[in-house]
Structure 1
Amino acid sequence: MVKGIDCSTPLTASTAAKIAKQGYEFAARYLVPSSYAWKRLTAAEANAITVAGMQLISVFETTANRPVGGATAGTEDGKAALNEAQTIGQPTGSAIYFAVDYDAQPKDFAAIEQYLKAAAEQIPGYAAGVYGSYSVIEEMFKRKACDVFWQTYAWSYGKKSEHANVFQYKNNVMVAGVAVDLNESYGGEGWWNTKEEEEPTMSQEDAEKIIRFLSAAWFAATTKEDKAEFNRLADEVRKAAGVPTKS
């Protein structure tokens, strides 16, 4: 389980660092058009959050009950979310959550399902997720409307879905001078950061040759310290070649 926050206030490098220092490992922020600039995640902010050592979770929300607009609204919002994700450099393979931020009733579930499925069609390469109450999470999981699930305690009446990748358990808490909601995640949440994948600086063939020499030195070593150092050097060579380390 990992602790994190979500907030509508854009984070600066300073506030992101202060939040991370308090033990929070991810920040969920709004992936919305420029008309919602007051809460919009930008590339600069995404980088500041990454530099602070936190992961990002992207959520799309314009109005609380937008998903009752069904497939038409989902198509529009999916296109908008894709544009924002590409603009800020969110990598494919991560998730975009779409918020159902009200006490949705069973009569709304069909429209919400249509909304989510339509939005998902517009974000190729990204996992589609839903934020909502216990009943929304349970029903959308059953209907296979999306891939990942973020439950809020609100309107959940003390129930917690076993399908939740993220769980929001408290609202409006001040952390580092910012009003945030508190969350915990359980894996598979589709978070991301702005770090670029580093290209290997050494071929695997050369790495294997060097490691053979280091292996011979390891067997010749007479102290634990020397053996540990040869292991460390071998792992550094593996990293340079993009090969998984042994330690």
Structure 2
Amino acid sequence: MGPNYHPKIANMLGFCIIGGNAMATVLDYSAGVPQAAAVRDAGYDGAVRYISPPRADWMRGKPIQRAEIDDFHVHGLDVAFVWQYGKEADSDVMRGRDGGLADARAAKQKLDELGCSNHPVFFAVDFAITLEQWNVTAVEYFRACCEILGRERVGIYGHSRVISWAVEDGVIANLGGGKHLAWQTIAWSWGELSDEAVLFQRAGQVTVGGIECDVNDVWHHYWGQKPVSEVAPQPQSQPESSGPIVVRYDADFTADMPGVGYRSIDSIQSICVHTVECPPERDGIAVAQWQTNPANGSSYNVLAGADGILILCNTDDFMPYAAGPTGNARCLHISLTGYARMSREDWLDDDAKLRRTAEQIASWSQLYDIPLEFIDADRLRAGARGVHGHAEISEAWREVNHTDPGPGFPYDVVLGYAQELRNTRQPNNPTPTPTPETPEQGEERIMIRWILDQLVGPEWDTKGPRFTGWKATEGKTFVDFVAGKIRLIPEIARTVATLPERLDRIEKMLTELQKQK
């Protein structure tokens, strides 16, 4: 994988690169059945096919028949299998344990009929499932599937977050090397790519052999196309009990404020908990979008919304507009949807939100060596490191007067969850081996510096955000200069609109002058 490779861009362009090689693409379809020759001639390497019955009359391609499998094999194509009957309103997985037992038994029977008895099955989560729906109902569906088929034969189709939840709960096949039997859809993934997935379903469709088909990028050599008995064991990934706590955000915004700016991470002292002062069930993404407007005067590093949604608003090296000058500079800020007046029982009703908050706090604790203990205003003012609320900042430095997250906030529960994560995740810190810089890397650094020069000026400071601008752009960075000229756009547009008329006049004048000569 070269230094210029970016997976999101690669997927937008319609290809995937792993280990330096262009990877395969496979189809999935249900409206009909294209001939295997048409699939091969169109450049695809196989298909993921439904073994579930059709939900509607137009689904003439469900379920797959033995003749189609034989046709694929004759033409050198591979086949994997998926089970999906319901969709958003009546998703299979929302039937819980009983549904999982029934569907896994039916899938097993169909695979036996097809002569594919030891193949795995992707079970579809084809809607915007929330963490609460997963924890309460859907995970039980997958546990039941594992009971019938064995975990090594169970896969999942869904958005990036549900894949992570399935991996965490151990209800899909672990292929080793960080890969699991997971098929990601671009839908509801908010631009995030799943590191664990082996297949990625793109947006849009293609027509192959007269049939509308979805296209999927293959991200691993095994994507369910062979019986599990034929798959060589893969080296297992590093145990979950070691390594850094990596937070997976459900969305990523920039909610910075003018005049706040960057800070050295060496200045970080503590972790501050806030409340947004909105209904606890409020969509966290809507709050983050609101905060992107500087006029609203509010931002954090991270937001925790309903159903365990965690949103990155500003990176750790940026001071959010959250708790006065001193608190902004010294603290990492996480805010939860809810009110400071909420009782302990109110907070405990949304366990998913508390656990995601704890996940973020545990990650910060590990990264910046911040103790997982509550500190009061006196200790905070004295320079102690730990976890506290906005109320403690107000009392410590008297720059603000907020009292959130309130006396009912369950610090003991959240810090307990965070400590559990810290206990099971110890960072690996091997001494890095210096890598000599190659000529290509040197050229890249020169190019990066040249780009920065053009954007922010020739004397930008590598130690901090000091941007000088250019004389040609009135001492401003490129972005600030352009922003200041936006008001000229209407006049420019009017001028451009009258250019044809002006050119006609000039042409007539030149013609008249020619006649006079």
Corresponding position of 1:98: 123
> Helix, strand or coil: the match of 2:26?
strand
Q: Are residues 29 and 50 of structure 1, via their aligned partners in 2, closer, same or farther at CA, if it must alter by over 3 Å?
A: same
Q: CA deviation at 1:49?
A: 1.8
Q: CA deviation at 1:72?
A: 0.7
CA distance in 2, matches of 1:85, 1:125: 16
CA distance in 2, matches of 1:149, 1:80: 20
- Aligned pairs for 1:125-136 (under 5 A) are 127-136=153-162
Corresponding position of 2:195: 162
- Aligned pairs for 1:1-247 (under 5 A) are 1-12=23-34, 15-33=35-53, 38=60, 39-64=62-87, 65-92=91-118, 94-110=119-135, 111-124=137-150, 127-147=153-173, 148-185=181-218, 186-192=220-226
Q: What RMSD over aligned residues (CA atoms) do the two structures have, in Å?
A: 2.0
Q: CA deviation at 1:35?
A: 7.8
1:81–1:123 contact (8 Å) kept in structure 2: no
2:152–2:172 contact (8 Å) kept in structure 1: no
Q: CA deviation at 1:55?
A: 0.4
> Helix, strand or coil: the match of 2:167?
helix
> Helix, strand or coil: the match of 2:200?
strand
Q: Are residues 173 and 189 of structure 1, via their aligned partners in 2, closer, same or farther at CA, if it must alter by over 3 Å?
A: same
2:97–2:144 contact (8 Å) kept in structure 1: yes
- The amino acid across from 1:46 in the alignment is I
1:10–1:45 contact (8 Å) kept in structure 2: no
CA distance in 1, matches of 2:55, 2:46: 25
CA distance in 1, matches of 2:207, 2:145: 33
Q: Which has the larger radius of gyration?
A: 2
> Helix, strand or coil: the match of 1:28?
strand
Corresponding position of 2:411: none
Q: CA deviation at 1:42?
A: 0.9
CA distance in 1, matches of 2:106, 2:148: 9
Q: CA deviation at 1:176?
A: 2.7
CA distance in 2, matches of 1:72, 1:180: 32
Structure with greater strand share of residues: 1
> Helix, strand or coil: the match of 2:127?
coil
Q: CA deviation at 1:107?
A: 1.6
1:99–1:130 contact (8 Å) kept in structure 2: yes
Q: Deviations over 1:36-91 (max 9, x none)?
A: 77311111111112222210010001102110111110000000000000001114
> Helix, strand or coil: the match of 2:206?
strand
Q: Deviations over 1:115-173 (max 9, x none)?
A: 11101221259610000001111111111111111111111011110000111112332
Unmatched tracts of structure 1, length 5 or more: 194-247
CA distance in 1, matches of 2:49, 2:68: 10
Alignment: residue pair count: 190
CA distance in 2, matches of 1:41, 1:121: 24
Higher relative contact order (CA 8 A, sep 6+): 1
> Helix, strand or coil: the match of 2:149?
coil
Unmatched tracts of structure 2, length 5 or more: 1-22, 174-180, 228-517
1:67–1:112 contact (8 Å) kept in structure 2: yes
CA distance in 2, matches of 1:95, 1:49: 18
> Helix, strand or coil: the match of 1:75?
helix
Q: CA deviation at 1:11?
A: 2.2
- The amino acid across from 1:105 in the alignment is T
- The amino acid across from 1:24 in the alignment is Y
Query: Identity of counterpart residues, as a percentage?
Result: 27
Corresponding position of 2:500: none
1:16–1:49 contact (8 Å) kept in structure 2: yes
